[in-house]
Amino acid sequence: MSRITALSVVVAFSTCFCSKICPAEDTGLEFEFGATSIYQHNTRGGLSTHRRAGRFSGSYDLQLKADMQRLLGWDKSSLHVHAEGWWSKSAGIDGPSVGSVFGVNGDAMARNSMVVTELWYQRSLFDDSILVRFGKMDLTGGSIHAGIPVAFDGNCYANDETSQFLNSALVNNPTIPFPDYALGISALYTPVDNLYVSTGIVDAQNDARETGFATTFHGEDYFFYIVEAGVMSQLDSSKGPLPGAYRIGVWNDPQPKGHSDAARTWRDDTGLYLSCDQRFTKENNDPEDNQGLGAFFRYGYAESKRNDVNNFWSFGLQYQGLLEGRDDDVLGIGFAQGFFSDRAAVTYPQDYESVLEVYYNAHINESLSLSPGLQYIANPGGVSGVSDAVVLGLRAQITF
């Protein structure tokens, strides 16, 4: 079956599924389906512009959200199930063609099975000031507070590879060793509307394809710890408040690790990070309208003897509704740069890898968007003798 045919089957199935199975809102159940198809081509530089320089990749996901108060009478609680799958041979073009350390496709995955990546229960406590979540979770999925993504490493303008930037360095901070959909617990505390503190503890060794019980309860005692605090801001403007968020976090990973040139490993890897976003302009007075200009910034630090990338920063801009009559379209421009550890100079003779990405997300209708994009990768892989790469791509995102 061709990739185009396979995508058509998935789209047809999702339409049928949602129209026949999705229950009414008053049942307390909500289903969501999404599919992403991506084509990328390395047009210049990198490892090779001939060997697998162009590839299709794609993913699909199904989410179930259950209001446990409506279903079972459990006060202020909910259940979330998230399953993800990938098209066959969806590893992308990094390995054979580009050679980027970051990864030019944050949605790529070298497997074609469907996996339950998240299964967690959530409960609100103490007049909704504390939100507790436990189960198998994606720490980067985080929580929403005051309409803004918060913990962990959240960002309004650079946090979703299916609709925003594709390069992994512009999705999450690469200096943070987030575990792969692990069993654990997290808590979000919001003492006032514009302030929050969040913490998470999860199994550091988990494999997303497994339930996590084997490594959590029978493996080594390795748990990943992370704490984040944030302040919500609102700048004044003639057309209404301009929201923003300023987050700072620290983490600890007890697993033994070392940089690529190291002859030994060390435990207790630690680091810190910043993630900020702020809207600066607003096109009209409608509080529900997001047209206007926003900006983001990230920074990350990790110890050089335990990590190959020990310093990282990124920044960028997003404008929604730039073109007349295209109110839902989004233009994004982002830059990211990671600095390699001086201790790993044999593996990474170059000092850094950087990427400049530009995308335009065109809203076709309520279910479909198309995003052409361009990436320029300098010093791909941090190795000598590899020229800068230019990657062109097109992404189709379908949601129901």
pLDDT in tens, 127-155: 989 999 999 999 987 777 777 787 899 99
Report whether pLDDT(6) > 80.
no
Encode pLDDT of 177-205 as tens digits: 999 888 999 999 999 989 999 999 999 88
Q: Which pLDDT band holds residue 8 (cuts at 50, 70, 90)?
A: very low
Other beta carbons within 10 angstroms of residue 113's beta carbon come to 9
- 149 versus 64: which is more confidently predicted? 64
Q: Which pLDDT band holds residue 19 (cuts at 50, 70, 90)?
A: very low
Q: Which pLDDT band holds residue 217 (cuts at 50, 70, 90)?
A: low
As a whole number, mean pLDDT of residues 356-384 equals 96
Cα(395)–Cα(375) distance, rounded to whole angstroms? 13
Residues forming beta bridges with residue 83, ordered by sequence position: 62, 116
Q: How many CA atoms lie within 13 A of 291 on its CB side?
A: 15
Q: What is the pLDDT of residue 368?
A: 96
- Asked if 101 and 167 count as a contact pair (C-beta separation under 8 A), the reply is no
CA distances from 290 to 141, 180, 285, 303, 318 (A): 22, 32, 10, 39, 11
Q: What is the pLDDT of residue 3?
A: 37
377: which 2 tokens? 């990768």
As a whole number, mean pLDDT of residues 47-54 equals 77
Q: What is the pLDDT of residue 344?
A: 87
- Asked if 37 and 389 count as a contact pair (C-beta separation under 8 A), the reply is no
For the chain, what is the largest distance between any 2 Cα atoms, rounded to a whole number of angstroms? 64
pLDDT above 90 covers a percentage of the chain that reads 63
| DSSP H helical ranges for the chain | 3-20, 68-72, 213-217
Buried b (16+ CB within 10 A) or exposed e, 24-51: eeeebbebebbbbbbbbebeebbbbbee
Report whether pLDDT(353) > 50.
yes
Q: What is the pLDDT of residue 329?
A: 97
User: Any residues with CB less than 8 A from the CB of 72 and at least 6 apart, and which?
Assistant: none
Cα(144)–Cα(149) distance, rounded to whole angstroms? 5
- 208 versus 323: which is more confidently predicted? 323
Q: What is the pLDDT of residue 197?
A: 96
- Phi, psi dihedral angles at 327 (to 5 degrees): -65, -25
Short-list 142, 139, 175, 155, CA closest to 276: 155
The number of residues making up the chain comes to 400
**So where are the chain's domains?**
120-399
Cα(297)–Cα(247) distance, rounded to whole angstroms? 10
CA distances from 61 to 37, 147, 198, 306 (A): 12, 23, 27, 34
- Asked if 21 and 31 count as a contact pair (C-beta separation under 8 A), the reply is yes
Encode pLDDT of 243-294 as tens digits: 999 999 999 999 988 888 887 888 989 999 999 999 999 999 998 899 999 9
Q: How many CA atoms lie within 13 A of 158 on its CB side?
A: 33
Q: Which pLDDT band holds residue 210 (cuts at 50, 70, 90)?
A: low
As a whole number, mean pLDDT of residues 6-11 equals 37
As a whole number, mean pLDDT of residues 40-55 equals 84
Cα(142)–Cα(191) distance, rounded to whole angstroms? 18
Which stretches does DSSP call E strand in 22-70? Answer: 29-44, 54-67
Report whether pLDDT(18) > 70.
no
Residue 285 identity (one-letter amino acid): N
Q: Computed over its alpha carbons, how large is the radius of gyration of the chain?
A: 21
Report whether pLDDT(331) > 90.
yes
pTM above 0.95, yes or no: no
48: which 2 tokens? 């090779």
For domain 120-399, the CATH class is mainly beta
- 318 versus 53: which is more confidently predicted? 318
- Asked if 388 and 3 count as a contact pair (C-beta separation under 8 A), the reply is no
Residues forming beta bridges with residue 318, ordered by sequence position: 294, 332
- 47 versus 110: which is more confidently predicted? 47
DSSP string, 250-261: EEEE-S-B--TT
- Asked if 232 and 262 count as a contact pair (C-beta separation under 8 A), the reply is no
Report whether pLDDT(335) > 90.
yes
203: which 2 tokens? 């199994």
Encode pLDDT of 65-110 as tens digits: 999 999 998 999 999 999 998 876 667 787 778 989 999 999 888 7
Mean predicted lDDT score pLDDT of the chain: 87
Q: What is the pLDDT of residue 13?
A: 37
